[in-house]
Structure 1
């Protein structure tokens, strides 16, 4: 235990007992003043690795790519603070009485960056590509299978999707098999794909094409001018943007290492970043006099996942393995009791992350069930569970064998990219499990680069057999429905967990009855409890999102309903520098 204390203390931030609350931060920049005509905003991606560079909503999987795309492309549908679709976006919509048919109308003057109008066929084409048998991206899930005729098209039994109807150049009609409350909260695919650009590219080749990697286009407020693969993207203003010309001349998005982010902000090398490392905030809040910190409850959580099966590429669904090394829920439960996430939250993050109890985070307050009692730090309880389950140290080497008396080595995959604390945090977890007699070893003896990490745990459907468990993080969808992460047919279900009760609850959460908010809340409370009981993964920390913004920047917000990137401006040509 003394060693674990040293590991935690080694990553202490030097700020004593300072504990912060996300409630003390605003989502909106307070800088006042008139924006000058023009200027370039420098936007940082805080990571010690490269970004993947899949710069299209249909194909990307990494959050850094999404941070780039949002500057030059956007959803056709806007959302409010509760993530519900509104009528204020580039398209409006009408819904049939049975909630199954949506009719969308794209506004006039919504044009691609090459001048071609964004058409209903572009929207339909985006959906067709995702449903195509040769599609190699991560988007195809239950929300797409809910479109009438999609399964037949996806299986190659139909040449078109019966539930898609291009009524005219600006009108698209989509009919769903079942009308669900999820449709109005993220369950509709709201992104178009320029058919005139992609129509001659085979679907299997699209994600690697120049149209995605080198010369991506959208209809957002800025246009991509150049891409330095993995490092930066330069953009210029889209004077033809449907909401009006941007105030800025351009935006440069570039990778900034977590170890140098503070200096980059001090010097004005970047005006803002995608998210500031919360573990560094306590050390620098008084130093960064030239920025204002915005903050909100992040739509994400960190977690520990256990490999319980594989992905069946042919069936496109999870294939559970009852003989998996981590198949015993008692082993998984003991590992949850063995770690002190509350201490991690305070020592590493000064309260800007906090202990998590369920897989629906507090960013969805209507559904997050804080009353559910999940395992919290109790190493003696962990040892008791392991003893009773037959995990005993039969050869007196200090490490437990499995119930068959065989050596138990658990291979743990963890990624780099978390700054200075990534390695010590991983070491803490390994040591905590060692303290209860479990021999957990870091896979390959090192942290894995982000893109390689997600390949290993199965984002392409190939599960590396040497991985027994892993440490990951999820950004959750705007809709509370967790089926895209934990459903039987979700490729992002990296633990490869499936059960009939999980299937039932996920189905009930998007059923006709779930239009009743209280019924839906009850279903997802039951689902959260099921995950605490079954433990395919366990959440470790909920997260704050902190975003520093140079005090020359006006009209900037990190609110969920913010759609004003074209209004963002600067009050002077050069950024303010720290005093």
Structure 2
């Protein structure tokens, strides 16, 4: 998911469609609507009311920002918790729980001055000690073993992180409370992305301080309504597991009392969401899946609904397993990996890329509402390079040529190629259930690859939880896999997904040159210049495109819709939920 944010080249666009629903009880609808608009202008936003959002999948149940793993859980978390900084529509960092900040001379420290009137939902004051506690917990020796995956992105550059996280010392040096409302982040070296590192949501020390880190994920304070405590504009108060999640307004919210009384999330089958949207039983459908491109015209025709369309801040990939981990080995040590013989030749991986008609998938399954993307850096970032990385336009002749050159030819005349030793060569393709477009793309990809003589074993899809468990722990015989990534908006660095020792590097990609470029892109002092970073990231994107740990299949447009009665909506490039305390309804 999701998470943090900042930068330029904003390629997002917003399409606002739909008409205000006519009021009942009046024969002159135009006049009635005009009266309502004039009344709204005169009175401003109204207090009260509830809006209902729809999710097509139930959250797994972790509502602690340092341990949650999925976008469905984030739909609750983002209303409840906050960070020191947030981001605006241009992906620039702006004040949030911290009202200002300053760097020391070499940018190895950043000191935040906190807002002084912030309280947790239970009335306790928010202080700098909560900030220290949050980052200390993410740096704890037990954090990763307990299931935490965010230390590498937010804590690993802190001063003394390695020693503290490995249990060599009990002294946590990385974040220091100067007083109750002043906190300093100290880094091991000058940090180009210090604001991004400091942007993570803060959890309350007084709630978790007596709970061992290993026990925090399962603690009621991380999972149960009424016990999940944040500083945000809404409180998590009720839950019918797998069906409904209720957020009630925090009347004492430090940025002002929210206009709405409550926000309710309902878990609804994707097949009926649009009907509920049309008849007003739900008010919005947005993150993480929105509505399907095939339904665009139907939604556009709804008189009481408005559409928001913009490029997704993420993408779908077909990963290619470069290496495999040994069975039972959960370390991130590339020296222990074994080469995947089926895909070890880069010409084979490149042939696969040429064989797949990505634009056809976009046109056929997304109805044209998406883009071909040739790099795993979001197109909205200044660092995205749309010129230099290989484009891999659909070219079956090129695919056939590369496979022939690599020695993969059809020896026995059955239409499928054997490997260079004349042995049967089959690539398995794995994918999860849950995303309908991804599910439908799997047999299409199989067909494209078999057209150039690659024998594909399209495996039975699995439920997402089981699929990702296999991908993490039991993928020793996997070749190709489908997955989608939502990206962090805090910085364009692809670390976290594509570094050789990153947890989510499911392709087990071990490319020393690529790792070197990732390190150079954030190494001071040169990396304080954006043009320098852009040049380094361009080289990295070329390396990625040539070595191909994955083919970026497409970035679908985000398609969100809301009832016209909802006002105050100001979406961000990466999410629908933004300043929900300013949302209100007109009826």
Judge same fold: TM > 0.5, yes or no.
Answer: yes
User: Is the Cα contact below 8 Å between 2:567 and 2:586 reproduced in 1?
Assistant: yes
Take 1:403 and 1:91, find their aligned partners in 2: how far apart are those partners?
A: 63
1:107 alignment partner, one of 92, 115, 132: 115
Give 3-state SS (helix, strand or coil) of 1:196's partner: helix
Aligned to 1:10: none
2:443 alignment partner, one of 409, 427, 431: 427
Take 1:528 and 1:89, find their aligned partners in 2: how far apart are those partners?
A: 35
Aligned to 2:581: 566
Would you say 1:480 and 2:492 are equivalent positions?
yes
Q: Cα deviations across residues 335-368 of structure 1 (Å, max 9, x unaligned)?
A: 1111111111112222211212222231214534
Aligned to 1:522: 535
1:254 alignment partner, one of 263, 266, 269: 266
Aligned to 2:360: 343
Would you say 1:331 and 2:348 are equivalent positions?
yes
1:241 alignment partner, one of 253, 268, 286: 253
- Return the offset for 1:242: 0.9
Counterpart mapping for 1:85-124 below 5 A: 85-124=93-132
User: Is the Cα contact below 8 Å between 1:142 and 1:489 reproduced in 2?
Assistant: no
User: Is the Cα contact below 8 Å between 2:390 and 2:546 reproduced in 1?
Assistant: no
- Call closer, same or farther: CA 1:324–1:90 in 2, change over 3 Å: farther
Give 3-state SS (helix, strand or coil) of 1:292's partner: strand
Take 2:271 and 2:18, find their aligned partners in 1: how far apart are those partners?
A: 26
- Return the offset for 1:524: 0.8
1:220 alignment partner, one of 228, 232, 238: 232
User: Is the Cα contact below 8 Å between 2:429 and 2:481 reproduced in 1?
Assistant: yes
User: Is the Cα contact below 8 Å between 1:231 and 1:255 reproduced in 2?
Assistant: yes
Aligned to 1:17: none
Q: Which runs of no fewer than 5 residues in structure 1 stay unpaired? A: 1-20, 573-579
Take 1:537 and 1:377, find their aligned partners in 2: how far apart are those partners?
A: 16
Would you say 1:266 and 2:278 are equivalent positions?
yes
Would you say 1:25 and 2:15 are equivalent positions?
yes
- Return the offset for 1:394: 2.4
Give 3-state SS (helix, strand or coil) of 2:427's partner: strand
- Return the offset for 1:142: 5.2
1:150 alignment partner, one of 151, 161, 164: 161
Q: Cα deviations across residues 150-187 of structure 1 (Å, max 9, x unaligned)?
A: 00011110112222212222222111112233223x23
Aligned to 1:16: none
Take 1:552 and 1:317, find their aligned partners in 2: how far apart are those partners?
A: 53
Take 1:560 and 1:95, find their aligned partners in 2: how far apart are those partners?
A: 27
- Return the offset for 1:568: 0.3
Counterpart mapping for 1:153-192 below 5 A: 153-184=164-195, 186-192=196-202
User: Is the Cα contact below 8 Å between 2:499 and 2:505 reproduced in 1?
Assistant: yes
Aligned to 2:544: 531
Take 1:89 and 1:161, find their aligned partners in 2: how far apart are those partners?
A: 22
Would you say 1:300 and 2:314 are equivalent positions?
yes
Take 1:441 and 1:532, find their aligned partners in 2: how far apart are those partners?
A: 25
- Call closer, same or farther: CA 1:24–1:249 in 2, change over 3 Å: closer
Would you say 1:38 and 2:48 are equivalent positions?
yes
Aligned to 2:244: 232
Take 1:477 and 1:22, find their aligned partners in 2: how far apart are those partners?
A: 16
Take 2:548 and 2:85, find their aligned partners in 1: how far apart are those partners?
A: 35
Aligned to 2:85: 77
Take 1:248 and 1:90, find their aligned partners in 2: how far apart are those partners?
A: 25
Q: Cα deviations across residues 358-382 of structure 1 (Å, max 9, x unaligned)?
A: 2223121453434533211112211
- Return the offset for 1:387: 1.5
Take 2:418 and 2:560, find their aligned partners in 1: how far apart are those partners?
A: 46
1:287 alignment partner, one of 294, 301, 314: 301
Give 3-state SS (helix, strand or coil) of 1:145's partner: coil
- Return the offset for 1:414: 1.1
Take 2:291 and 2:321, find their aligned partners in 1: how far apart are those partners?
A: 29
Take 1:294 and 1:391, find their aligned partners in 2: how far apart are those partners?
A: 47
Give 3-state SS (helix, strand or coil) of 2:381's partner: coil
Number of aligned pairs? 543
Aligned to 1:388: 405
Q: Which runs of no fewer than 5 residues in structure 2 stay unpaired? A: 1-10, 21-35
- More displaced, 89-98 or 54-63? 89-98
User: Is the Cα contact below 8 Å between 1:29 and 1:549 reproduced in 2?
Assistant: no
Would you say 1:59 and 2:74 are equivalent positions?
no
Take 2:276 and 2:351, find their aligned partners in 1: how far apart are those partners?
A: 43
Take 2:61 and 2:431, find their aligned partners in 1: how far apart are those partners?
A: 22
- Call closer, same or farther: CA 1:541–1:201 in 2, change over 3 Å: same
- Call closer, same or farther: CA 1:448–1:555 in 2, change over 3 Å: same
Q: Cα deviations across residues 466-517 of structure 1 (Å, max 9, x unaligned)?
A: 3222111111211101111111231011111122111111011111111111
Q: CA RMSD in A?
A: 2.4
User: Is the Cα contact below 8 Å between 1:119 and 1:170 reproduced in 2?
Assistant: yes
- Call closer, same or farther: CA 1:125–1:22 in 2, change over 3 Å: closer
Take 1:347 and 1:415, find their aligned partners in 2: how far apart are those partners?
A: 20
Aligned to 1:548: 561
- Call closer, same or farther: CA 1:132–1:24 in 2, change over 3 Å: closer
Take 1:540 and 1:338, find their aligned partners in 2: how far apart are those partners?
A: 12
- More displaced, 362-371 or 513-522? 362-371
Give 3-state SS (helix, strand or coil) of 1:208's partner: coil
User: Is the Cα contact below 8 Å between 1:302 and 1:542 reproduced in 2?
Assistant: yes
Give 3-state SS (helix, strand or coil) of 1:92's partner: strand
Q: Cα deviations across residues 513-537 of structure 1 (Å, max 9, x unaligned)?
A: 1111111111111111111111011
Would you say 1:277 and 2:285 are equivalent positions?
no
Aligned to 1:358: 375
